[in-house]
Amino acid sequence: MTRTAVVNDYQHPQPGASSTLTLDERVSQEILKNGIKRPKGYTVSYHSNPEVEKMHFGPKHPMKPWRLTLTNKIVLAYGMHEAMDVYVPRAASFLEMTEYHKEDYVQFLSWVTPKIKLDMETSNVIPYNMGDDCPVFDGLYDYCSLYSGASLDAARKLTNNQSDIAINWSGGLHHAKKAEASGFCYINDIVLAILQLLLYHPRVLYIDLDVHHGDGVEQAFWSTDRVMTLSLHKFDKANFFPGTGGSDDTGPKNGANPGAHHSLNVPLHDGIDDESYVQLFKDVVGPCISTYQPTAIVIQCGGDSLGGDRLGCFNINIRAHGACVDYTKKLGLPLLVLGGGGYTPRNVARLWAHETSVCLGTDLHPSLPTHTPFIEHFAPDKSLYPELSQTGRYDNKNSGKYLRDIVTSIREQLRYVQGSPSVQLQYLPPDLGAVRDEVEREIQEEREAKDLGRRRKERGAGTRGEYAH
């Protein structure tokens, strides 16, 4: 074969693009068309480790980490990365994850494999609530440590004043308990991140937009007044997971407990629509802010509250969901933005890409850029904003009176919150930053020790590097 034939047979590895430069030019055009630029007066950071995207729960499991790939591809196609500080965070260490979780549980996650679990099933012993909802898959511990590390990194950027809004779409796994998995969640990265924020902030407001109740976070901070949890979710105690989060679940019943009245729930019925949802959100969040006076906010943006979700039952569109994030952002407090549920991957990706633009204060063109990878997954419309409220639409069973009663109930609970709590005598969790530094020093010392030993061996006869592997 001649040299010319070799050149002619070559195909560029990136289909649809004749060169990398051409792709860069297309992204630059999108940046100009959408007016994407760094926000004035505040900084947005984006925390994403591509290794999380490779994890697989199993072919029939509704949780698809691949939705993060779709999200990141849309963010990059619009050029939003140019307006943010983008970080590839390290995995959380064992010590960092045990700041909340039981050591034996985290140790179990670190060594269990699908084969070991199969042996346990044979013996009818399956600990820590592992099963169909929370399967054991290859790379489970890495998955947990990666998404948790991203949330911790985002929280640290906020406490270090390196960021004002920090985003981690791989986080938001709000069902995980202190010593067991639950609802597709293994490590509760939200709790770990809030513990980090509490080192510097006296009060944190946690807002949960997932269609399922944020029970794991509520449980973790049940007895403290330094965290107020507010969850808007579908509630049916007998027929909808997790069956908690009724309007009377407001914290410990003993009024002397600091956590009393600091767990607020907005139980909804099927089919709530855009207008009702956004107005309800403003009507309950506003009083929480004015009464509790948080100094930082964490918002979980579960995409299963969208219309047409595989496991959801609301009629909410992407822009309405994003309007709640926008309202929260405009409060001007340090803001940690996390992912969560969402089981129709293409719509989850659309949502989180849109809410990234909300954080940047940018209005995106509704047509997805033609150079978006995997754009065929967004057919037939290939739009960022499809009409989801008509997809498998549920009848709206939330009457105006019912929603007004919820607002009245929330405000009544807030009457018992005696202003912003004092934290002078409160317990402060240990500094996870110090733990991180200690772990990194240990890793560096181990590397140096290995290098020293290898160099000593190589002083003898032979070629340099023969002991490197």
Q: Is the peptide bond before 242 cis (omega within 30 degrees of 0)?
A: yes
Q: Quick one: the chain helix, strand, coil %, rounded to 5?
A: 40, 10, 50
d(Cα 328, Cα 319) in Å, to the nearest integer? 14
d(Cα 173, Cα 309) in Å, to the nearest integer? 17
Could you tell me which of 35, 144, 156 has the C-alpha nearest to residue 98?
144
Contacts of 270 (CB under 8 A, 6+ apart): 234, 313, 314, 394, 395, 396, 397
Q: Strand 296-300 relative to strand 204-208: parallel, antiparallel, unpaired?
A: parallel
213 catalytic, yes or no? yes
Q: Exactly one of 81, 174, 175, 213 is catalytic; name it.
A: 213
d(Cα 75, Cα 82) in Å, to the nearest integer? 10
d(Cα 198, Cα 93) in Å, to the nearest integer? 19
d(Cα 337, Cα 382) in Å, to the nearest integer? 26
Torsion of CA 333, 336, 342, 346, to 10 degrees: 90
Which tokens hold the place of 290? 């004015």
Q: Strand 44-47 relative to strand 85-87: parallel, antiparallel, unpaired?
A: parallel
Could you tell me which of 204, 215, 220, 286 has the C-alpha nearest to residue 249?
215
Could you tell me which of 210, 209, 229 has the C-alpha nearest to residue 219?
229
Q: Which residues have a catalytic role annotated?
A: 213
